Amino acid sequence: MTVMDSNRLVNDYLEGLDRAAQSLPAERREELLADVRSHIAESGATTEADVRNVLERLGTPEEIVAGYEDTQGRPPPPAESRLRFHEYAALALLPFGGFLFIVGWFFGVMLLWTSNRWRIGEKVLGTLVLPFGYLSLVIIGMLPGQTCSEVSTSTPTRVGGPNPAGDPEVIESCSGFAIPAWIGIPLLVVLLIAPVVMVAFLAYRAAPNRARRSTASALG
């Protein structure tokens, strides 16, 4: 990413902040924009990844304005429950929605992406960690296991060939799917634990006012 592109990314963010801060008096709005602009400049971010990380840590323009208004003496909004029904439904359907004819998992992903409690990276994580939830484990468990059998050929090989004595050959034939135990057992443990860890992480990140507190800390 060039310096010009980095500046454009920052300018777009500041323009969004300016629009979100229209309810503030002009003097306070300019002060807020100056504080955020200074914070971004002091971070030393130049690459796309660095700039996006700085902006993500700051939060959305709406979150910054809300936090700034609170510090200026505006009464804070009424306390919310840790999670709303929207988030509860998403966290339940991501691991178990696949059992609802698979459609339930897609509905959980939709709720995840339409919620304003999670950021883009967290939504990607919730989508990619074990797609279709625990249904994937059930499907893997239903795969036919590997079975092997020995087949004795009724026609002996020609004399002078690989089997000069002319005895029937025994051939082992295997079918099905098998994973070595040293791979399969750790993989099973990871697949069992990953959705639980993912749900716990998303529940923590969905805590109300979390982003607002981190924004205030970043600007303070």
Confidence of residue 2 (pLDDT cuts 50, 70, 90): low
Q: Tell me: pLDDT of 81 over 80.
A: no
pLDDT at 211 (0 to 100) = 45
pTM of the model: 0.55
> Can you tell me which residue has the tokens 């600007």?
219
- Top mean pLDDT of 34-43, 88-97, 204-213 is at 88-97
Residue type at 84? R
User: Percentage of residues in the chain with pLDDT exceeding 90?
Assistant: 24
Cα 32 from Cα 23, distance rounded (Å): 12
What is the structure's pLDDT at 108?
A: 95
Comparison of pLDDT for 141 and 199, the residue scoring more: 199
Please report the DSSP string for 24-61 in residue order.
S-HHHHHHHHHHHHHHHHHHT--SHHHHHHHHHHH--H
**pLDDT at residue 98, rounded to an integer:** 93
Percent of the chain at pLDDT above 70? 75
pLDDT digits (tens, 9 = 90+) for 83-137: 788 899 999 999 999 999 999 999 999 999 988 788 888 899 999 998 999 999 8
What pLDDT, on the 0 to 100 scale, is given for residue 204?
A: 87
Residue pLDDT, tens place only, 158-205: 545 555 555 667 777 777 667 777 888 888 898 999 999 999 999 988
